[in-house]
Amino acid sequence: MGRIKKGTTCSVNPCDGEAVRSVNGPKAKAAGLDVEGNRVYLCKEHYKEYKKGSKKDRQIEKWRHGVA
């Protein structure tokens, strides 16, 4: 049983929402979220912001590995 199922809260500083996803901390920070640590937990709204902020980086990674 993982931390998400146990009811972990969002790792973004002013948020107290229930986490739905866990992501790499430095990647979340690069996407513009105010987080600390290597593994961070995001609520639905902050995960959406993370996806928008990291879209370009994810596309470059796909090109790099020949998947597109």
Domain ranges of the chain: 3-64
Burial class (CB in 10 A: 0-12, 13-18, 19+), 12: buried
Q: What are 2-16's pLDDT values in tens digits? A: 898 899 999 999 999
Q: What CA–CA distance (Å, rounded) separates 28 from 14?
A: 15
- pTM score, two decimals? 0.86
Which pLDDT score, from 0 to 100, does residue 68 have? 62
Cβ atoms of 25 and 36 within 8 Å: the answer is: yes
Q: What are 45-55's pLDDT values in tens digits? A: 999 999 999 99
Which pLDDT score, from 0 to 100, does residue 34 have? 94
Q: What are 18-43's pLDDT values in tens digits? A: 999 999 999 999 999 999 999 999 99
Which pLDDT score, from 0 to 100, does residue 10 have? 96
